[in-house]
Structure 1
Amino acid sequence: MAEGSSIDALGQFELHPVFGSVGEALKFSQSSLMMVVTAVIVAGFILISMVPRSLIPGRLQATTELGYNFIHNMTLGTIGDRGKAYFPFIYTLFFFILIGNYLGLMPWGFAFTSHIVVTVTLALLVFFLAMAVSFRHQGMGFFAHFLPEGAPIVMAPLLVPIEILSYLSRPVSLSIRLFANMVAGHVMFIMFATFTIMFSSLGLFGDLLGVAPIVINIALMALELLVGALQAYVFAILACIYLQEAVGHGHHD
């Protein structure tokens, strides 16, 4: 927040224990709390909306089925028939990130996806799962990916290190993309909100000037809603692409 004429745009990302001494002892921060809330929202919404199991679905059931079909089609469309085994993981990953992004836009909310340790953990989970799937389906043939097909053997000393570096960079790019987008959006919110407060001290002229940051923040809110969904989709679709490579091209059950 503003302190004098300064803008502390990064203070919102500081972690603080919740639930008093118990939270402090357990290292349970607002980030941890929002993760639990996200899990409860995702699981609770599915359970509540699917209780009727109507042939003609109501709004809640239709929304859940829409989300289910969207992720199901994306997973199988990218990975293939073997994607059925990984659909629950992709479904959970997408909605965990989506709701986590949106909780950060709520009053007193906190976007745990704005912390690099969270996004790195999610990226490493995808990375090691894809690697395990690769060894399961391809065995030692997994290492053949580090020498592009058709490349001369004499080029191996140059190409193999490049391919290995490219492969190892996947969790880095995956995590930084989500982290950076969430941080940038929330920093912009604070900056323009602080401008509004600063302008308010200038009297009537300042009140008129203060309208502009408010309008910009409203536009930013709409943009962040889009970015939150887009980043969840990008994270999920890249996970599907990595798993598709892991199960092998052209393989079907």
Structure 2
Amino acid sequence: MATETHGAEEGGLVFHPMDQFIVEPLFGEGAVGFFTVTNVTLWMAIAVLAVIVLMVLGTSRRAVIPSRTQSIAELAYGFVYKMVEDVAGKDAVAFFPYIMTLFMFIVFANFLGLIPMSFTTTSHFAVTVVLALMVFVTVTIVGFVKNGARFLELFWVKSAPLALRPILAIIELISYFVRPVSHSIRLAGNVMAGHAVIKVFAGFAAIAVISPVSVVAITAMYGLEVLVAFIQAYVFTILTCVYLKDALHPSH
């Protein structure tokens, strides 16, 4: 703290790109407890409300000539439905509501996080880990319920030479339990990195000499983050479909 204060007194540039990810109580001050309403709570609730407005209220009339809201809702519905059917198979369509909910929540949370002064909930591992663990537990339960002990065939590579199968089984088992880790880190890491870079460029915008360059860089990064917001929701969802396919059809 002393170093930061000294730097500010010397006229240096002081900014903290990671401060935007700090979880703070929404009411009052103090430590954040298990039941504390925080900025994360607020923006997760806003994301859920936005999904409800789009998917429920926006399609309640179902006009022959759809409104813009209805068109967006129908496009999202068709996009995710086809993804589930193409990747996981027709028997995975029963899980479409769950996968659709995941996609819509993540994509809205990502886009809402791009609003100035907002909070990006998907930049926190506490959020993405829970989402990934929900997928992991769901597909594992589905795998055993639908296939019984045959679900273990997922880890037994029958096409490989017999001598290599035990080694490959260990590798497959490890990779299976690593899934929720990679699934959650990929989403949170990409979202956090992009927002941090934008914050860094915004800090340099205070310097008059390089301010025009910083503004151009911020604009370019913001445009890229809009694309990343959708892509990361898509990647999380399509990986969920892949994992579901393994649960429904475990044999190699």
2:25 equivalent in structure 1: 17
2:40–2:121 CA contact under 8 A, matched in 1: yes
1:49–1:61 CA contact under 8 A, matched in 2: yes
Please tell me whether residue 108 in structure 1 is matched to residue 123 in structure 2: no
- Flag structure 2 segments of 5+ consecutive residues without an equivalent: 1-6
Cα offset for 1:5?
2.4
1:103–1:109 CA contact under 8 A, matched in 2: yes
2:13 equivalent in structure 1: 5
1:232 equivalent in structure 2: 233
Residue type of the partner of 2:236? F
The two structures, once aligned, show a CA RMSD in angstroms of: 2.1
Q: Given the two structures, how large is their TM-score scaled by the length of structure 2?
A: 0.90
Please tell me whether residue 194 in structure 1 is matched to residue 203 in structure 2: yes
Q: Given the two structures, how large is their TM-score scaled by the length of structure 1?
A: 0.89
1:66 equivalent in structure 2: 75
Percentage of pairs with the same residue: 38
Cα offset for 1:53?
1.4
1:156-195 matches, within 5 Å, as 156-195=165-204
- Flag structure 1 segments of 5+ consecutive residues without an equivalent: 201-205
Identify the range of structure 1 (78-87 vs 216-225) with the bigger mean alpha-carbon deviation. Answer: 78-87
SS of aligned partner of 1:131 = helix
1:137–1:247 CA contact under 8 A, matched in 2: yes
Out of 85, 89, 98, the residue aligned to residue 98 of structure 2 is 89
Q: 1:108 to 1:7 in 2, by over 3 A?
A: closer
2:157–2:165 CA contact under 8 A, matched in 1: no
2:4 equivalent in structure 1: none
Cα offset for 1:249?
6.5
Cα offset for 1:178?
0.6
1:211 equivalent in structure 2: 212
SS of aligned partner of 1:169 = helix
Q: Is the helix fraction higher in 1 or 2? A: 1
Distance 1:66 1:175 in 2: 26
Distance 2:50 2:230 in 1: 16
Please tell me whether residue 223 in structure 1 is matched to residue 244 in structure 2: no
Cα offset for 1:117?
1.4
Residue type of the partner of 1:240? C
Distance 2:109 2:95 in 1: 21
SS of aligned partner of 2:118 = coil
Residue type of the partner of 1:228? A
Residue type of the partner of 2:170? P
Distance 1:24 1:177 in 2: 26
Aligned length: 242
Q: Once the two structures are superposed, what CA deviation does each residue of 1:30-74 show, in whole Å capped at 9, x if it has no partner?
A: 111111110011011222211221122122111111111111111
2:132–2:180 CA contact under 8 A, matched in 1: yes
1:203 equivalent in structure 2: none
